Structure 1
Amino acid sequence: MNTERIRPGHAGTGRSNPTLEDIATAAGVSRSTASRAINGGDRVSPQAQAAVDAAVVELGYTPNRAARSLVTRRTSSIALVIPEPDIRIMADPFFAVIITGITDALRETDVQLVLLMSRNGDDSGRVLRYLRGGHVDGAIVVSHHRDDPWTTSLPGTGLPTVFIGRPWEARPGVPYVDTDNYQGGRLAAQHLAAGGRTRVGTVAGPADMTAAADRLAGWREGLREAGLAEGTVVHADFTTVGGQEAALRLFEEAPELDGVFAASDLMALGVLEAVRRRGRSVPEDVAVVGYDNHALSATAVPPLTTVTQPMSAMAATACRILLEEIDSPGARPAPFIYPAELVVRESSGGRRLSAP
């Protein structure tokens, strides 16, 4: 007589994948106990958990995610919302670093990332409907603007949400991760002043973004502390082309400038080109400071002095906070702010400064 053990779900059933009932039978536990053991071990004894774990390995069980989501109300996915035009997202390395930071943080989990690119108008409404429809367990929002609906609409839906960058309306209990943009702008002003630059101006970022507003406010404070006039301010769109066009306008208004702070590295690259087009040199005639410390800042000609924005770390921290919010609703984590630090390279010269 053949006494070989017949595995549940494999002989006479026609099924290639064992069911939850098969796991329960093999482990000698009830179906509900097997389900709890597979879905996190809540109210399961160590002995039963070990038996279920062994049965899962022996039978090669793969959970049915669709069925599990009906029970747990989880989709095992989170959304990254970027309310910017597609062309901007593809051209700015900031977004590639953010996406990579989040996917790295998710690597040891079963959670998948859904990328949602949205602009004002119909796109925003469509994305909000998607987020409210239960398709994801939470959302990370980055590069948001003053008129975007995210800070007012998402928190009220009950969907766990974390912002990268301080929202315009930073409500209590709405978590965000940011760098100290105010202190970064202040360091840039102090650095140029310490290098003997007295006629300075700035290419500020979009006026409807908190990062740009905070960097500009810090820049102005640093100039006041150094006893320098505020100088000319021209706003641009965080792109190289926009930075170059803004810098050319800056030099038209104040041709004697000997120092420029650009509120992003991409705009600073545009400033470098504008200085060359004016027949001047960096840093001999004009010192230039950027913001971000992108990889491209070290390979610029000349290498770019810049304020560090730890983009990958910010993305990973935002992801960690979101996963904690999903697992423990109502935790209300405090904002996480990375300190400012200036990385000095050839575009400005001078000594290294960091936040006190």
Structure 2
Amino acid sequence: MNLWRRMITGVLCLIFLFSLFTPVHAKADDSETAYVDVAVATLWVEPGITRSIDSPSLSNPVDLWTWTKSMSYEEKLWLVGNLETQALYGTKVTILEKQGDWVKVAVHGQPTPRHSLGYPGWMPIHQLTKGTAFSQFQSKPFAQIIKPTAWLYHDPNSRKRFIEISFATRLPVISTTKHAVKVMTPSDGAKWLKREDVQIFRTEADIPTPTGEDVVRTAKQFLGLPYLWAGTSGFGFDCSGFTHTIYKAHGITIPRDSSVQAQFGLPVSEKDLQPGDLLFFAYDQGKGRVHHVGMYIGNGKMIHSPNSSSTVRIDDYRAPGYGEEFAGARRYIQR
């Protein structure tokens, strides 16, 4: 079962590595790496295009709840086309370009034909750290957050909060107690997590191969979470960030964008749909460009994060607004 998962990931990596669509970055030697040093880093299409209302997402530390809850619908809608993706605390990135206080990075673990190293976008440089000590712990077992969000603490008794981090964040484990896990952070040394907020794995390959019901159960944790364009965290998801992150938490790496997710995995006919399969929707009555993805949960329903005016919710995938744009399904889990 784990072999199947590793094969999918390996094939994706090879395809993207040799993709003809990989752009050339004249200012990069693809050798300078760093780690995300905030709970969630937001990547932008260009440097310096942010608004004053975006300040909580640009600081270190960030305040994602203040940012997302302060925006009106129109202000959230403005993000469409201006954001690229997000990267979780401790994620490794490669620095591609520098421009003033901004850097263009490729996010490792987010496959895309846009760059062989990972999903590209611009972010403030002060949200990164070289993580020299942190990098030495990368071969250690890791603790993965299993709650929508969880707090890191300065102490094992969970009395003094440090920062709130997202679902699917992975941090190297230093030691454990009955009720707490000591982890290494990118730039602030050792901190603590509640044992109930994490699962510990020796390597990603040791994450149990999920059933379709497993990924659906995980997805349902986020019902009611407001949509965020480019979101990949428990503070807000877009449609493909939702499916990408849920699968990633179960040890399966799939492409970051819906249009690319629709090109891989195993094609599935409607009559053979099973929970956990991904459903795709396209312009021009389902024959054009794929623009949306949801996860099938059974009984003609899907769970998805649809748009800036909505939340993670369950809908009939053949309902008006979706049914006429249905473009097929893909399976990323071995049955």
TM-score by length of 2: 0.25
Identify, as 1 or 2, the structure richer in helix.
1
Q: Return the index of the structure with the highest Cα Rg.
A: 1
